[in-house]
A and B are shown apart, each in its own frame.
Chain A
Amino acid sequence: MSTAADVTAAGLDPAALAGYEGHPPRMGFFTDTSVCIGCKACEVACKEWNSVPEDGLQLTGMSYDNSVSLNASTWRHVAFIEQIGHGPPDATADGAHSVDGAVDAAQPDAPRWLMASDVCKHCTEAACLDVCPTGALIRTEFGTVVVQDDICNGCGYCVPACPFGVIGRRESDGGAHKCTLCYDRLGDGLTPACAKACPTESIQFGPVDELRERAQQRVSELHENGTDSARLYLQDPGDGIGGGGAFFLLLDEPEVYGLPPDPVVTTRDLPRMWRHVATAAGGLAATAVAACLGWRGSQR
């Protein structure tokens, strides 16, 4: 499928695989949740720039999270996790300050608060794009994954195909919607709205290669500071989705943030599925032949 030229040291080049020649570098997000303050500026900026409609006004009782999850009308979602009685997560021996909140060694039961801004991962191997029957979902020249609203017929296939539960179908217009990585802004050389609005640079935007390096640096820095729980999520081109165009620095297991610990794009198994379908179809025909052979119309 892929030629040598499409596979760089950083993994597959999705834009080249999609047929773009001389395309711009792959762009993405590195979301460093260790500095997120839960201000939701990203959620608001995204809604405003992309004219994303209201997505239900409700109090969930889930800490300060009232937008619940990514969806057709929530393209950035800030998760709030209150870990009460967790103790100082990675305090250095003398109880020094850890990045994810001031930690007092005298209070091992102190709560810790994790905040993380989630977004579409713009997967290198994107299930939503693979399964879309209309070609509404496309790979852009920036290596991102975008829905063409004028093509989508609302079949809903992309929705359960995404291993992260990102894309959704909107009740009001029947179409599927998700983060576009601000495709319109990228075309004009602008930073996506969420990254622009983020006051702590928790959301960093740039060429994916560069962001991967920056993420690596940041995680080493945190480990040196004693935050052993810091880990990168989806930055590895060798993972089950070929790495994300948007990846994350987390302070706990992915599932704590509502993320799958080891996602694998469903279409990796599709060749095998087609083989079994072909065998089953052949079996169906053979069964009919077996059922019909030897029949005599005059049979009693």
Chain B
Amino acid sequence: MSGRSPRDEEFSDMARYGPGEPRDSAEQVVASKVRPDSYYGRAVIKEPVWSSPEIPGYLFLGGLAGASSVLAACAQATGNRELARAAKTGATVAIGLSLAALVKDLGRPVRFLNMLRVFKVTSPMNIGSWLVSGYTPTAAVAAASALTGRMPRVGAAASGAAAVLGAGVATYTAALVTDTAVPAWHEGHREMPYLFAGSAASAAGGLGMLAVGQPAAAQAVRFAVLGSAAELTAKSLLLQRLGDVGQPYRSGLAGKLMETAEVLTAAGLTGAVLGGRNRAAAAVSGAALVTASALTRFGIFFAGRTSARDPAYTVAPQQQRLQEAAATGAG
């Protein structure tokens, strides 16, 4: 029987969240099923060193940008120039900010371009770097053309390319976080891409609702409604699959973020459906959806950290897997 949780473990939690924040423990949840032995309560895997707000912010802004480009291309194709222009501008600003956040988080920012010295499908971060590198200039050209009215052909081509690459930018980040040993992320690898896509569409639609009025906003409203519905569905499927491993999404800081996000999404969704034609109501609903998308990414980020820190989340499912394998082997 090895010791559990020395005091400094608690201190480090307090340093992170303040003294009022209780430490989540998977042990209570899983103790009944397995023996959650550990080495002095220390984590088995390493907590991600990625910092906040950079990386959760990157996940959010990348989604917002990518989905905005997808919406912009469709809006443009159907003659909705006003929405297309707003979405393209939003996409360019968002991807610019998210790139800055990404570079800032590197341990050695000047070496950012080393990301592009290889092409590696086994590394979602590598593929993502290629996607973002291709996407950023096309999104910028599309926005510049839409804003100035110059070179409409080039602008249209760029807008199409940005939509294709943008769909990748908005969703690859799901593979980025789930291709790790972090239990709350990895175990949700089937649902996370849909959650991210839905959250991105909800944010992009929300931004459109904020930026333009009717009738241009009608497409943004529909995009936001479909997106947030997909997001809520994917989220509930994800939590269902995770079971006990999903506990970090329900408690502590991450739990609060996820809960607030869900309330805001539901409110934004309702507002979009009922008040989408009223300029002010649409803007408020849009803002709620954008905020909800950001909070969701922060919630997912912090839930991952918590699940990495507590050895029970890593050990218990593996013990269970071994027990099941032994049972099938014996039976």
Contacts and interface: CB of A to CB of B under 8 A. Distances in A.
Contact of B318 (A173, A263, A298, A299): A263
25 contacts: A60-B6, A62-B3, A85-B1, A131-B123, A131-B125, A131-B180, A152-B111, A153-B108, A155-B107, A156-B107, A160-B181, A160-B182, A162-B45, A255-B44, A260-B318, A262-B321, A266-B178, A269-B189, A277-B168, A284-B197, A288-B70, A289-B74, A295-B218, A297-B216, A300-B214
Interface in A262-286: 262-263, 266-267, 269-270, 272-274, 276-277, 279-285
A260 B189 contact: no
A292 interface: yes
Contacts of A267: 122, 179
B44 A162 contact: no
Interface residues of B, number: 95
A153 B223 contact: no
Contact of B108 (A175, A277, A282): A175
A127 interface: yes
B297 to A, nearest CB: 15
B125 A157 contact: yes
B115 A133 contact: yes
Given A269-B189, A288-B71, A297-B215, A281 B118 contact: no
A165 B315 contact: no
B39 A258 contact: yes
Interface of A: 60-62, 65, 68-69, 79, 81-86, 127, 130-136, 151-157, 159-170, 173-176, 253, 255-263, 266-267, 269-270, 272-274, 276-277, 279-285, 287-293, 295-300
Interface stretch (B76-84, B90-98, B144-152): B76-84
Contacts of A273: 124, 174-175, 178-179, 189, 193
Interface stretch (B47-55, B134-142, B254-262): B47-55
A60 B8 contact: yes
A263 B111 CA distance: 32
A296 B78 CA distance: 8
A276 B189 contact: yes
B117 A151 contact: yes
Nearest to B130: A133
A69 B215 CA distance: 60
Given A174-B107, A261-B322, A270-B179, 20 more contacts: A60-B40, A134-B118, A135-B117, A155-B107, A160-B308, A161-B179, A161-B181, A164-B44, A174-B106, A255-B39, A260-B44, A262-B321, A269-B186, A270-B175, A273-B193, A280-B174, A292-B74, A295-B218, A297-B216, A299-B215
Contact of A255 (B38, B73, B178): B38
B167 interface: yes
A174 B215 CA distance: 51
Interface in B105-128: 105-109, 111-112, 114-115, 117-118, 120-126
Contact of A291 (B38, B179, B200, B222): B222
A157 B178 CA distance: 11
B302 interface: no
B315 A260 contact: yes
B291 interface: no
Contact of A261 (B171, B196, B223, B318): B318
Nearest to A58: B8
Contacts of B99: none
Given A160-B181, A288-B74, A290-B222, A276 B126 contact: no
A79 to B, nearest CB: 6
Contacts of A60: 6, 8, 40
B106 A153 contact: yes
A259 B46 contact: no
B171 A277 contact: yes
B123 A157 contact: yes
B201 to A, nearest CB: 6
A280 B227 CA distance: 11
